[in-house]
Chain A
Amino acid sequence: MKNVLVVDDSQIMRNIVKNSFAALDIPCRFLEATNGKDALNQLEENKIDLVLLDWNMPKLSGIEFLKRVRDDERYTQLPVIMVTSEAAKYNVVEALQAGATDYIIKPVNEQKFREKISKIKL
């Protein structure tokens, strides 16, 4: 059973992300965070196998969360997929340079997750 941390300030979007990911039939337990700060706490308290990370959130954005995570040697190999509406190429480049494992542009669906997750060893 894998622990998947879904980080998004929108409850509706967290549910849509969970439902889309759950359709992949990967045995997993979902944990949730509403911003990057909350997500950092979740990382300290749980063994997380995958982070699905929004970009624009209050308190601590997804990109700042990502930079902090990659600066921590415990999490250099943790798969982090950005799941965001930020669709410009310069945003994708920034996220990948900051250490994102992959990048999904909202709106999400099962097919987008299937393509990305197949490239990751969970």
Chain B
Amino acid sequence: MEKYIHPFITVCEDVFRDFVGTKLTAERPYISSRNEEHEWEISAIIGFTGEARGAVVISMKKEPALKITDILTGHAHTDIDNEVIDATGEIVNIIAGNAKRGLEETFKLIISLPTIVRGKNHRITWPGESTRIIAIPFKIFESDSLCLSVAIESITGA
């Protein structure tokens, strides 16, 4: 499962550099539990089907989500509104779509439309009971952070 993670890390860094104009610094990945307590306030989720199943999730607190949306829209945001939801969903969409290129030799994937979950300590329902969730924390905007979580398993034996 870990061999599938690298394309997501690379693409995440590239997307934030090229789309948001911001450098991400990856920290040590870890195995996340399904019921882990967390501090994130918004998560954007894309599901995978096709020759593998799983999901990619990007989670962050309110402040970096607002800053990212400010950059993409050119005006300030003070709370999580429809534009912040739109921006967060589009970022995970671009990450998922571009990560498919790095996985295309392994399996063909179909990605879902993004889903947004918000609120303190919100819960995400992950597909598959046994698939491990790899979480990769990133530093952004010097003092903020976000987390990219990926769970993906082949259903073709690849």
Contact = CB atoms under 8 A, between A and B. Distances in A.
B100 A91 contact: yes
B93 interface: yes
A85 B69 CA distance: 19
Contacts of A58: 113
Interface in B69-83: 69, 72-73, 83
Contacts of B109: 88
B89 A85 contact: no
B114 to A, nearest CB: 9
Contacts of A70: none
B94 A88 contact: no
B108 interface: yes
Contacts, number: 61
Interface size class of B (residues with CB under 8 A): 20 to 34
A106 B86 CA distance: 15
A56 B73 contact: no
A10 B98 contact: no
A23 to B, nearest CB: 15
B90 A13 contact: yes
A90 B113 contact: no
A11 B97 contact: no
A15 B73 contact: yes
Contacts of B101: 87-89
Given A56-B111, A56-B113, A105-B98, A88 B93 contact: no
A86 B90 contact: no
Contacts of A109: 18
A12 B97 contact: no
A61 to B, nearest CB: 9
A107 B15 contact: yes
B100 A87 contact: yes
B108 A85 contact: no
Given A12-B73, A55-B97, 11 more contacts: A12-B83, A12-B86, A57-B113, A58-B113, A85-B93, A88-B101, A88-B109, A105-B97, A106-B97, A107-B19, A109-B18
22 contacts: A10-B89, A10-B90, A12-B87, A13-B90, A16-B72, A56-B93, A84-B97, A85-B94, A85-B95, A85-B96, A86-B97, A86-B100, A88-B100, A88-B104, A88-B108, A88-B109, A89-B104, A105-B97, A106-B94, A107-B18, A107-B94, A109-B18
